[in-house]
Amino acid sequence: MHVLQLKTGTIEENCYLVYNDEALLIIDPGADAEMIQEQIKKTQQQPVAILLTHTHYDHIGAVEALRNTYDIPVYVSPLEQEWLGDPILNLSGLGRHDDMDNIIVSPAEYEFEMKQYRLGNMSFEVVPTPGHSAGSVSFIFDDFVISGDALFKGSIGRTDLYTGNLEQLLYSITTQLFVLPNEFVVYPGHGEPTTIEHEKKTNPFFNA
C-alpha cells in the first residue's frame, strides 16, 4: 500500500492518496483539485471514495470537483454531515475568511460508523478522535494512521474553534492513537509525518 501526501491550499492542508494495485482512496481533499487529479493520474489507479477526517473548509474545498470528476461517494462523520453545506459550520463563511468563497458541499453519500471498512481491497478502521471538532475521526490502516487535525508532529489540533475541547482531544489521542504500535507512522492534517513512539516521548502536550 502506498501513501502520497499532497499539500493543498494557502494553509498547506495535507490531502492523502492511499492506493494499492487495485484502487485509490482520496482523504481530505482540501483544495487544488486539478493538482490532485494530476497526482492521481500518475498513480494509474482509479479512485473509489473520498474519506473525510472532519469538515473544516481547508479539508473539503476540492471534494465537489473530485466527486463529480470520478463519480465516487463521500464518507463523513454523521456529527458533521450538516457542516459540509454550511459555510459557518465549516468555517469558510466566517468574517476572517472574507477573501475566500463560501464552501458548500453536497451531503455525503455515507456516514461513518466506528468500525472496520474495506474499500478497493484496502482495509482500515475508523475511530473517533473528537476534540478539534465534534465529528473528527482517524483512519487506522495496517501500519499507519491518518489523524486529521487531532495529532500533529510535536503538537495537537486547535481546540478554540466551534465544538473544540482540549480535554476531549487529549483523551482521544491517548485512548485511540497512543494505543497503536510505537512504529506506526502518523500522517497528520498539517505538517510532516511522525510516529506514535515519537509523539508519546516528545509531544509537549503529553510531556509537560
Residue 129 is part of a domain; what is its CATH number? 3.60.15.10
Q: What is the count of structural domains for the chain?
A: 1
Residue 195 domain-assigned (yes or no): no
pLDDT at res. 98: 61
Name the residue range of residue 106's domain. Answer: 1-140
Q: Which DSSP string corresponds to 95-112?
A: GGGTTSPPP--PPPSEE-
pLDDT at res. 101: 85
The candidate with the shortest Cα–Cα distance to 28, out of 2, 5, 48, 1, is 5
Q: Can you tell me the mean pLDDT for 155-171?
A: 97
pLDDT at res. 142: 96
Residue 169 domain-assigned (yes or no): no
Q: Residue 73 is placed in which grid cell?
A: 461517494
Residue 157 domain-assigned (yes or no): no
Number of H helices, E strands in the chain: 5, 14
State the average pLDDT for the chain: 96
In this prediction the pTM is 0.96
Residue 80 domain-assigned (yes or no): yes
pLDDT at res. 94: 78
pLDDT at res. 208: 67
Binned at pLDDT 50, 70 and 90, residue 200 comes out as very high
Residue 153 domain-assigned (yes or no): no
Characterize the bridge pairing of strands 110-111 and 74-76: parallel
| Lowest mean pLDDT, pick from 95-104, 111-120, 131-140, 159-168 | 95-104
Q: Can you tell me the mean pLDDT for 96-122?
A: 90
Residue 10 domain-assigned (yes or no): yes
Beta strands in the chain (DSSP E): 2-8, 13-19, 24-27, 47-51, 74-76, 110-111, 116-119, 122-128, 137-140, 144-148, 151-152, 155-156, 185-188, 194-195
Task: Give the separation between CA 108 and CA 71, rounded to whole angstroms.
Answer: 13
The candidate with the shortest Cα–Cα distance to 37, out of 62, 59, 61, is 62
Binned at pLDDT 50, 70 and 90, residue 1 comes out as very high
Residue 62 domain-assigned (yes or no): yes
Let me know how long the chain is: 208
Whether the predicted pLDDT of 207 surpasses 90 = no
CB contact at 8 A, 154 and 204: yes
Give the CA radius of gyration of the chain: 16
Residues 6+ positions from 201 with CB-CB distance below 8 Å: 207
pLDDT at res. 96: 61
pLDDT at res. 91: 94
Q: How far apart are the first and last CA of the chain?
A: 36
Residue 145 domain-assigned (yes or no): no
